[in-house]
Structure 1
Amino acid sequence: MEEWAKLLDAVAAILSAIAWPLSFLTIALLFKEVLQTAISRIPSMLDRVKTASVAGIKLELDRVVAEEKEDKSGKVTPVQKESAARIAVEKQDLGSQPLLAELKRLCSEFDTLRNTLPSGDVRTRAMTRIVVQMRSLAPSLIEFLDTYKESNSAGRRLAAIAMMQMVPACADVDWLESRFTSDPPFLFYHAALALQNAMDDPYSNESRQSIIEAARRALEKVKSFNGVPDASTIEVLEALIDSSPQILSKHQ
């Protein structure tokens, strides 16, 4: 009797072990078509999620412009930093390509505006809206900085400047100084802001003395231009130079 009991226990254990796999197999056979349809829809569902996330990036770029519409200085603000942080979180799911596509669009839009609109307040405001949006994307795409620095497109060089404005530790002082020789006033104004941010940043890779010297040379170039020099750029560079003794003493 004891042996029969052991045999029955063994049979019960075997049946228990195969019951769930058999049940799953039975369900799979019965609902084969339904399961195939559901599985085939998974990629499209993921695509829709990704599309929704990309749309969210565009909404975020529109939001930051709307919130900064009263800002006349064009400087980096806390709102822009918060927007960049939100997009950096989205990048973890989206990857770089959708963000690069948005930045490419902004670069092209900048080049078109600059080439089609006459110089004046309307064009400056439109270009400022673009650089504000570039800044939201910039920290997430900082690994592409060198590619944008080397571009022949003014819009792409502006994107490189925006990256340096948002991540001052990556500022290339020599390259920024060269903007005052080869680029239009809108770009060298933002190059001046990037120099200012690098001067203020405690983690800057550039020596503060080299930043000050670059700012002095840039100021000389701006003041030597024919016609009326860009007052906003002069203001930024002079403020940077005037504050240099305090900044240098702080970091000694």
Structure 2
Amino acid sequence: MDDWAKLLTAVAAVLSAVAWPLALFLTAFLFRDVLRSAINRIPSILDRVKTASIAGVRVELERVADAEKEDEAGKVTPNQKEVAARIAVEKSDLGSQPLLKELDRLCLEFDALRRNLPSGDIRTRAMTRVMVQMRSLSPSLIEFIDAYKGSGSAGSRLAAIAMMQMVPTSADVGWLEGRFKSDPPFIFYHAALALQNALDSPDTSERRLQEIREAARRALERVRSFSGTPDHSTVEVLKTMIAGTS
């Protein structure tokens, strides 16, 4: 009798072990078309989620551009840093590629503004809006800075400058000084701001401080050598650095 009881117990254990896998197999087999359709839809669902997230990033960029005041002269503000921090958090879900596409869109927009709008306050304000948005993206994309520095596009070089403004330790002093030789006034004004931010950074060594001031001195000489009236804002930023009171 005991042997029969042991046998029945063993059979029950085997059936119990097999029952759930068998049930799952039968369910998967019977509903295979439904499951296949659901699995095939997963990539499109993820794409829609990413699209919605990028749309949210774009809205945030527009809001930070709208919030900036003209009297702030295009400088980095706490609001821009706050938005940049939020976008950096979203990068963990989005990845770099969607943000790079957004930054490239801004580079093209800047180039189009320079090409299509006449020089003046309207164009400057429009380009400043682009720069503000670039800043909010740039800390999340700092690892791509070399590609933007080496670009033939003025908009891409401006994106590199935005990265240097937001991450002063990334500032390439020699490259920034070079902007005063080959780029338009809007870009070398922002190059001056990038130098100033690097000068003000607590992580800047004494040797680097001297390097930045020397670059600012040479840049100021070049700006003053241009025909016509030199850009007042650029001159003031460079003079402040040279004086050591930034």
On whether the aligned pair clears a TM of 0.5, the verdict is yes
TM-score, normalised via structure 2 length: 0.95
Residue aligned with 2:221, SS? helix
What is the aligned partner in structure 1 of residue 221 from structure 2?
Answer: 220
Distance 1:223 1:114 in 2: 23
What is the aligned partner in structure 2 of residue 59 from structure 1?
Answer: 59
- Report how many aligned residue pairs link the two structures: 245
What is the aligned partner in structure 2 of residue 250 from structure 1?
Answer: none
Distance 1:194 1:29 in 2: 63
Distance 1:7 1:70 in 2: 88
- Aligned identity (percent) is 70
Distance 1:24 1:196 in 2: 65
Give, in angstroms, the shift of residue 33 of structure 1: 2.1
Please, which runs of 5 or more residues in structure 2 have no aligned partner? none
Question: RMSD between aligned alpha carbons?
Answer: 1.5
**Cα distance per residue 1:79-118 (max 9 Å; x no partner):** 1111111111122122211111111111111111111111
Greater shift, 145-154 or 25-34, is seen at 25-34
TM-score, normalised via structure 1 length: 0.92
**Cα distance per residue 1:12-38 (max 9 Å; x no partner):** 110110111111122222322222221
Pair 1:147 & 2:147 matched: yes
What is the aligned partner in structure 2 of residue 177 from structure 1?
Answer: 177
Pair 1:100 & 2:84 matched: no
**5 Å matches for 1:104-143?**
104-143=104-143
Q: Where in structure 1 do 4 or more consecutive aligned residues deviate above 6 Å?
A: none
Give, in angstroms, the shift of residue 45 of structure 1: 0.8
What is the aligned partner in structure 2 of residue 85 from structure 1?
Answer: 85
Residue aligned with 2:76, SS? coil
Give, in angstroms, the shift of residue 228 of structure 1: 0.7
Distance 2:11 2:218 in 1: 91
Amino acid at match of 1:237: L
Give, in angstroms, the shift of residue 69 of structure 1: 4.6
**5 Å matches for 1:151-230?**
151-204=151-204, 207-230=208-231
Distance 1:75 1:25 in 2: 63
Distance 1:41 1:69 in 2: 45
Distance 2:71 2:46 in 1: 38
Residue aligned with 1:207, SS? helix
Distance 1:83 1:71 in 2: 20
Contact 1:170/1:204 (<8 A) preserved:
no
What is the aligned partner in structure 1 of residue 6 from structure 2?
Answer: 6
Please, which runs of 5 or more residues in structure 1 have no aligned partner? 248-252
